[in-house]
Amino acid sequence: MSLRPPLKLGILGSGRGSNFIAISDTIHAGRLNASVEIVISDLADAPILQLAQQRGYKTWSCPKGNFKTKLEPEIEEQLAAQLKAANCELIVLAGYMRVVKTPLLAAFPGRIINIHPSLLPAFPGLNAWEQALTACIAQTGCTVHFVNEVVDGGSIIAQTKVPILPDDTAETLHARIQVEEHKLLPAVIRQISEGKIVLDRH
Protein backbone atom coordinates (compact mmCIF):
# COMPACT_ATOMS: atom_id res chain seq x y z
CA MET A 1 0.00 0.00 0.00
CA SER A 2 1.30 3.45 -0.93
CA LEU A 3 2.23 5.78 1.89
CA ARG A 4 1.58 8.75 -0.37
CA PRO A 5 -1.87 10.36 -0.31
CA PRO A 6 -3.84 9.98 -3.53
CA LEU A 7 -2.92 12.48 -6.23
CA LYS A 8 -5.87 14.82 -6.67
CA LEU A 9 -6.86 15.12 -10.33
CA GLY A 10 -8.91 17.63 -12.24
CA ILE A 11 -9.89 16.27 -15.65
CA LEU A 12 -10.86 18.45 -18.60
CA GLY A 13 -12.52 17.03 -21.69
CA SER A 14 -14.67 18.07 -24.63
CA GLY A 15 -15.86 14.75 -26.04
CA ARG A 16 -16.72 11.13 -25.33
CA GLY A 17 -14.48 10.82 -22.28
CA SER A 18 -12.70 7.58 -23.18
CA ASN A 19 -9.41 8.72 -21.63
CA PHE A 20 -11.27 9.81 -18.50
CA ILE A 21 -12.83 6.34 -18.28
CA ALA A 22 -9.39 4.76 -18.65
CA ILE A 23 -8.10 6.84 -15.73
CA SER A 24 -11.16 6.12 -13.58
CA ASP A 25 -11.01 2.40 -14.29
CA THR A 26 -7.30 2.28 -13.42
CA ILE A 27 -7.99 4.02 -10.11
CA HIS A 28 -10.84 1.66 -9.25
CA ALA A 29 -8.71 -1.36 -10.16
CA GLY A 30 -6.19 -0.25 -7.52
CA ARG A 31 -3.44 0.39 -10.06
CA LEU A 32 -3.34 4.17 -9.65
CA ASN A 33 -3.11 6.03 -6.35
CA ALA A 34 -5.15 9.05 -7.39
CA SER A 35 -8.60 10.55 -6.98
CA VAL A 36 -10.73 12.41 -9.51
CA GLU A 37 -11.84 15.55 -7.70
CA ILE A 38 -13.74 17.17 -10.57
CA VAL A 39 -14.47 16.66 -14.26
CA ILE A 40 -14.93 19.80 -16.35
CA SER A 41 -15.97 20.37 -19.94
CA ASP A 42 -16.16 23.43 -22.14
CA LEU A 43 -19.36 21.95 -23.62
CA ALA A 44 -22.45 21.52 -21.43
CA ASP A 45 -23.67 18.51 -23.45
CA ALA A 46 -20.33 16.68 -23.66
CA PRO A 47 -20.72 12.94 -22.98
CA ILE A 48 -17.73 13.07 -20.59
CA LEU A 49 -19.88 15.00 -18.10
CA GLN A 50 -22.67 12.42 -18.21
CA LEU A 51 -20.17 9.60 -17.71
CA ALA A 52 -18.58 11.41 -14.77
CA GLN A 53 -21.96 12.04 -13.14
CA GLN A 54 -22.89 8.36 -13.56
CA ARG A 55 -19.73 7.48 -11.66
CA GLY A 56 -20.48 9.93 -8.89
CA TYR A 57 -17.86 12.55 -9.68
CA LYS A 58 -18.34 16.27 -9.26
CA THR A 59 -18.73 18.04 -12.62
CA TRP A 60 -18.82 21.56 -13.97
CA SER A 61 -19.35 22.99 -17.44
CA CYS A 62 -18.00 26.30 -18.65
CA PRO A 63 -20.41 29.10 -19.53
CA LYS A 64 -20.89 29.37 -23.28
CA GLY A 65 -18.34 31.68 -24.88
CA ASN A 66 -17.93 33.32 -28.26
CA PHE A 67 -14.96 31.35 -29.58
CA LYS A 68 -14.50 27.74 -30.69
CA THR A 69 -10.78 27.34 -30.02
CA LYS A 70 -10.32 29.19 -26.74
CA LEU A 71 -12.18 30.45 -23.70
CA GLU A 72 -12.58 34.10 -22.83
CA PRO A 73 -10.18 35.03 -19.98
CA GLU A 74 -13.03 35.52 -17.52
CA ILE A 75 -14.44 32.06 -18.31
CA GLU A 76 -11.03 30.42 -17.99
CA GLU A 77 -10.62 32.21 -14.65
CA GLN A 78 -13.88 30.60 -13.51
CA LEU A 79 -12.59 27.22 -14.69
CA ALA A 80 -9.34 27.69 -12.76
CA ALA A 81 -11.32 28.69 -9.68
CA GLN A 82 -13.35 25.46 -9.86
CA LEU A 83 -10.14 23.41 -10.03
CA LYS A 84 -8.63 25.35 -7.13
CA ALA A 85 -11.76 24.90 -5.03
CA ALA A 86 -11.54 21.14 -5.65
CA ASN A 87 -7.92 21.19 -4.39
CA CYS A 88 -6.64 19.66 -7.64
CA GLU A 89 -2.92 18.95 -7.75
CA LEU A 90 -2.63 17.79 -11.37
CA ILE A 91 -4.78 18.95 -14.28
CA VAL A 92 -5.26 16.35 -17.02
CA LEU A 93 -6.43 17.41 -20.47
CA ALA A 94 -8.20 14.31 -21.76
CA GLY A 95 -9.61 15.26 -25.15
CA TYR A 96 -9.95 18.94 -24.20
CA MET A 97 -10.25 20.92 -27.42
CA ARG A 98 -9.58 24.46 -26.25
CA VAL A 99 -6.22 26.21 -26.31
CA VAL A 100 -5.13 26.77 -22.70
CA LYS A 101 -4.36 30.39 -21.94
CA THR A 102 -2.79 32.47 -19.15
CA PRO A 103 -5.51 32.18 -16.46
CA LEU A 104 -5.19 28.38 -16.28
CA LEU A 105 -1.44 28.25 -16.93
CA ALA A 106 -0.81 30.79 -14.16
CA ALA A 107 -3.09 28.98 -11.70
CA PHE A 108 -1.37 25.61 -12.20
CA PRO A 109 2.18 26.27 -13.42
CA GLY A 110 3.85 23.06 -14.54
CA ARG A 111 0.92 20.98 -13.32
CA ILE A 112 -1.10 20.55 -16.52
CA ILE A 113 -0.58 17.56 -18.82
CA ASN A 114 -2.17 16.64 -22.14
CA ILE A 115 -2.51 13.52 -24.28
CA HIS A 116 -2.00 14.14 -28.01
CA PRO A 117 -2.54 11.61 -30.84
CA SER A 118 0.84 11.88 -32.56
CA LEU A 119 4.54 11.54 -31.83
CA LEU A 120 5.17 15.19 -31.04
CA PRO A 121 6.71 17.43 -32.23
CA ALA A 122 5.27 15.90 -35.41
CA PHE A 123 1.66 16.81 -36.26
CA PRO A 124 0.54 19.20 -33.54
CA GLY A 125 -2.99 20.57 -33.64
CA LEU A 126 -6.25 19.03 -34.76
CA ASN A 127 -6.77 15.64 -36.42
CA ALA A 128 -3.16 14.57 -36.01
CA TRP A 129 -3.89 11.02 -37.19
CA GLU A 130 -5.18 12.40 -40.50
CA GLN A 131 -2.03 14.50 -40.80
CA ALA A 132 0.06 11.36 -40.27
CA LEU A 133 -1.86 9.40 -42.91
CA THR A 134 -1.48 12.20 -45.43
CA ALA A 135 2.27 12.32 -44.78
CA CYS A 136 2.61 8.64 -45.84
CA ILE A 137 4.92 7.75 -42.95
CA ALA A 138 5.48 4.34 -41.37
CA GLN A 139 4.38 5.13 -37.83
CA THR A 140 2.74 7.65 -35.58
CA GLY A 141 1.56 7.29 -31.98
CA CYS A 142 0.58 9.31 -28.94
CA THR A 143 2.34 11.68 -26.58
CA VAL A 144 1.78 12.86 -23.02
CA HIS A 145 3.33 16.28 -22.50
CA PHE A 146 3.30 19.21 -20.16
CA VAL A 147 1.12 22.10 -21.31
CA ASN A 148 2.54 25.56 -21.91
CA GLU A 149 1.57 28.58 -23.98
CA VAL A 150 2.53 26.85 -27.25
CA VAL A 151 -0.15 24.50 -28.64
CA ASP A 152 1.15 20.93 -28.18
CA GLY A 153 4.56 22.48 -27.51
CA GLY A 154 5.29 21.64 -23.88
CA SER A 155 8.05 19.28 -22.83
CA ILE A 156 7.40 15.63 -23.69
CA ILE A 157 6.90 13.17 -20.82
CA ALA A 158 6.26 9.86 -22.61
CA GLN A 159 5.31 8.46 -26.01
CA THR A 160 3.99 5.23 -27.52
CA LYS A 161 4.51 4.35 -31.18
CA VAL A 162 1.71 3.01 -33.39
CA PRO A 163 2.48 1.59 -36.86
CA ILE A 164 0.51 2.89 -39.81
CA LEU A 165 -0.83 -0.11 -41.74
CA PRO A 166 -1.19 -0.19 -45.55
CA ASP A 167 -4.98 -0.40 -45.36
CA ASP A 168 -5.46 2.11 -42.55
CA THR A 169 -8.18 4.72 -42.77
CA ALA A 170 -8.34 7.75 -40.55
CA GLU A 171 -10.89 5.92 -38.40
CA THR A 172 -8.93 2.68 -37.96
CA LEU A 173 -5.69 4.50 -37.24
CA HIS A 174 -7.33 6.81 -34.72
CA ALA A 175 -8.94 3.83 -32.97
CA ARG A 176 -5.58 2.08 -32.59
CA ILE A 177 -3.94 5.25 -31.32
CA GLN A 178 -6.70 5.60 -28.71
CA VAL A 179 -6.06 2.08 -27.44
CA GLU A 180 -2.50 3.17 -26.64
CA GLU A 181 -3.65 6.51 -25.21
CA HIS A 182 -5.78 4.63 -22.69
CA LYS A 183 -2.67 2.83 -21.46
CA LEU A 184 -0.16 5.67 -21.63
CA LEU A 185 -2.08 8.43 -19.86
CA PRO A 186 -2.89 6.44 -16.69
CA ALA A 187 0.69 5.12 -16.66
CA VAL A 188 2.12 8.64 -16.71
CA ILE A 189 -0.26 9.79 -13.98
CA ARG A 190 0.82 6.78 -11.91
CA GLN A 191 4.48 7.75 -12.30
CA ILE A 192 3.66 11.30 -11.21
CA SER A 193 1.71 9.99 -8.22
CA GLU A 194 4.70 7.85 -7.23
CA GLY A 195 7.14 10.75 -7.56
CA LYS A 196 8.96 9.11 -10.46
CA ILE A 197 8.09 12.05 -12.71
CA VAL A 198 8.65 15.41 -11.09
CA LEU A 199 6.13 18.05 -12.06
CA ASP A 200 7.65 20.68 -14.32
CA ARG A 201 7.46 24.02 -12.55
CA HIS A 202 8.77 26.04 -15.50
Select which of 28, 116, 182, 202 is catalytic: 116
41 to 12, 30, 192, 199: CA distances (angstroms): 6, 26, 23, 24
Verify whether residue 116 is a known catalytic residue: yes
Task: State phi, psi for 119 to the nearest 5 degrees.
Answer: -90, 85
Contact indicator for 78, 107 with CB cutoff of 8 Å:
no
SS3 content of the chain, % helix, strand, coil (to 5): 35, 20, 45
> How far is 80 from 66, CA to CA, in rounded Å?
19
Which amino acid is residue 157, in one-letter code? I
Q: Cα 1 to chain center, whole Å?
A: 27
Residues known to be catalytic:
116
